[in-house]
Chains A and B, each alone.
Chain A
Amino acid sequence: MLKIQNLTKNFGGFKALDDINLEVEPGERLGLIGPNGSGKTTLINCVSGSIQDYDGEVYFNQDNLNSLVAHKRTRKGISRSFQIPKPFNSMTVKQNLLIPLEFAVESKNLGSGSIEDEADNIIEELGLGDKSDQLTLGLTQIEMRKLELARAMAVKPQLLISDEAMAGLSSSEVDDILEILISLNEKSKITIIMIEHIMRAVMGFSERVVCLDAGKIIANAAPSEVIKNPAVEKAYLGE
Chain B
Amino acid sequence: MRNNRFYLLIGVLFVLSYLATAFVDNQYYFFAGFAILQLMVMALAWNILGGYAGYVNFGSAAFFGLGAYSAIFVLQLFDATLFTQIIVAGCFSGLVGFGTGYLTLRLRGVYFAIATLALLVVSETLIVNWDYVGGAAGAYVLPKRNPEILGVLVVGKSGALFGNYKELLFFLMCTIALITIVICRFIENSKFGRGLAALRDNEEAAESMGVPTLKLKLIATSLSASIMGITGGTFPYYMTFIDPISAFNLDISVNALAMPLIGGTGSWLGPVLGALVLGTLQQVVTVTISSSINLLVVGLFLVAFVIFAPGGFLGLIQKYWKRGG
Total contacting residues, chain B, CB less than 8 A: 20
Contact residues in A for B103 (Cβ distance below 8 Å): none
- Shortest A31–chain B CB gap in Å is 21
Query: Knowing A71-B213, A86-B202, A88-B201 touch, does A98 contact B208 (C-beta < 8 A)?
Result: no
Verify if B185 is at the interface (C-beta below 8 Å from A).
Answer: no
| A85-B214 Cα distance, complex, nearest whole Å | 22
Residues in A lying within 8 Å of B, measured CB to CB: 48-50, 69-71, 74-75, 79-80, 82, 86-91, 95, 98-100, 102-105, 151, 154-155
CB nearest neighbor in A for B210: A104
A71 touches B197 (CB 8 A): no
Verify if B217 is at the interface (C-beta below 8 Å from A).
Answer: no
Verify if B195 is at the interface (C-beta below 8 Å from A).
Answer: yes
CB nearest neighbor in A for B197: A90
Verify if B148 is at the interface (C-beta below 8 Å from A).
Answer: no
Verify if B219 is at the interface (C-beta below 8 Å from A).
Answer: no
Contact residues in B for A100 (Cβ distance below 8 Å): 209-210
- Interface set, chain B 76-98, CB cutoff 8 A to A: none
Interface centre among A49, A87, A99, A155, by most B CB within 10 Å?
A: A99
A71 touches B212 (CB 8 A): yes
Contact residues in B for A102 (Cβ distance below 8 Å): 191, 194
B198 touches A70 (CB 8 A): no
A87 touches B194 (CB 8 A): no
| A88-B205 Cα distance, complex, nearest whole Å | 8
Verify if B166 is at the interface (C-beta below 8 Å from A).
Answer: no
| A102-B200 Cα distance, complex, nearest whole Å | 17
B211 touches A103 (CB 8 A): yes
B209 touches A151 (CB 8 A): yes
Contact residues in A for B204 (Cβ distance below 8 Å): 50, 70, 82, 86
| A141-B206 Cα distance, complex, nearest whole Å | 21
One of B191, B201, B207 near A91 (C-beta < 8 A): B201
Contact residues in B for A87 (Cβ distance below 8 Å): 201-202, 205
A103 touches B202 (CB 8 A): no
One of B200, B212, B214 near A90 (C-beta < 8 A): B200
- Shortest A69–chain B CB gap in Å is 7
Contact with A along B171-182 (1 / 0, CB 8 A): 000000000000
| A57-B197 Cα distance, complex, nearest whole Å | 33
| A48-B206 Cα distance, complex, nearest whole Å | 13
| A49-B211 Cα distance, complex, nearest whole Å | 13
Query: Knowing A98-B194, A102-B194 touch, does A70 contact B207 (C-beta < 8 A)?
Result: yes
Query: Knowing A71-B213, A86-B202, A102-B191 touch, does A91 contact B208 (C-beta < 8 A)?
Result: no
B211 touches A82 (CB 8 A): no
B202 touches A99 (CB 8 A): no
Query: Knowing A102-B191, A102-B194 touch, does A88 contact B210 (C-beta < 8 A)?
Result: no
Contact residues in B for A88 (Cβ distance below 8 Å): 197-198, 201-202, 205-206
CB nearest neighbor in B for A98: B194
One of B198, B208, B214 near A74 (C-beta < 8 A): B208
- Shortest A187–chain B CB gap in Å is 22
- Interface set, chain B 190-240, CB cutoff 8 A to A: 191, 194-195, 197-198, 200-202, 204-214
